[in-house]
Amino acid sequence: MAEQPFVECRGVSKAFGNVSALHEVDVDLYRGQVLAIVGDNGAGKSTLMKILSGVHQPDRGTIKIAGEPIRIADPHQARELGIATVFQNLALVDQRDVAANLFLGREPVRAGIFVNRKAMREGARRVFADLRVHMPSLAAEVGQLSGGQRQSIAIGRATAQQGRIIIMDEPTAALGVQESQKVLDLVMRLKAAGTGVVIVSHNLRHVFSVADRIMVLRRGRRVGERLHAETTPDDIVKLIVGAGRE
Ligand SMILES: Nc1ncnc2c1ncn2[C@@H]1O[C@H](COP(=O)(O)OP(=O)(O)OP(=O)(O)O)[C@@H](O)[C@H]1O
Ligand SMILES: [Mg+2]
């Protein structure tokens, strides 16, 4: 578990106008490990995810990837660096089919210009087989699929981008019991395959079922980080609401 972190953030701060969304936050992400980030509404969780995925730039602080100081200029660069993100809104195109959504923006081409639909279907089949996700049809329009299927496509896209770290912002928030369980199973499979997963969630049962470490943000500050084995949901709730000792 404890080699060099793949991503190291130190002293990351971000303000929006006079709102301090993040204040000197440190966080380490490891491959093959699941880090959960929890905290009340407005604690800064999504802001931190957006900094890691190149959507926002920090005002202060440093980020290293594989030991190298780096500036993550935009989401495209984040993906090139091995950080793929499943955003809360999923960013799927409802009118296009499953396979097209899986390769959105990085479609395989043939003869230099035409989208290679056969390669796309084959790639999609492989991604879903690896994740053991059953997709009724790769030709189905994504707008017609269930919340869980849509979530699986967004996660599949992140894995197809070969993210060494995959960030998921509230992946189970809109899902029922069984579909949530499927997403949590996917998280465990990604971890087993050596991918680092960062999961933001308000559901502590979900958090405790997958996380190796749990980091708590409160009003933009990291108020604690616990190993799963050394904490309890009560302990985490105290940190979230500010009754802990840190
Ligand atoms: N683009 C933005 N412009 C202005 N303020 C923002 C922006 N993004 C976030 N904020 C503010 O920064 C703070 C942290 O927001 P953030 O979205 O990171 O919280 P969160 O922990 O993800 O909350 P939630 O659990 O509700 O998703 C909030 O006060 C929010 O209003
Ligand atoms: Mg959020």
Q: pLDDT tens digits, residue range 49-99? A: 999 999 999 999 999 999 999 999 998 899 999 999 988 777 778 888 888
- pLDDT-based confidence at 133, cuts 50/70/90? confident
- pLDDT-based confidence at 2, cuts 50/70/90? low
d(CA 58, CA 55): 10
All domains of the chain in start order, with CATH: 7-91+162-241 (3.40.50.300)
For residue 14, give the ligand 1 atom closest to its CA: 12
- The whole-number average pLDDT for the span 194-213 is 96
d(CA 159, CA 157): 5
d(CA 191, CA 19): 35
What residue's CA is closest to ligand 1, atom 16?
44
What type of residue is 51?
I
pLDDT for the residue 135: 85
Q: Pick 144 or 15 by higher pLDDT.
A: 15
Secondary element (H or E) of residue 219? none
The Å distance, Cα 136 to ligand 2 centre, comes to 31
pLDDT for the residue 184: 92
d(CA 177, CA 232): 22
For residue 17, give the ligand 1 atom closest to its CA: 4
Q: What integer best gives the mean pLDDT of the chain? A: 89
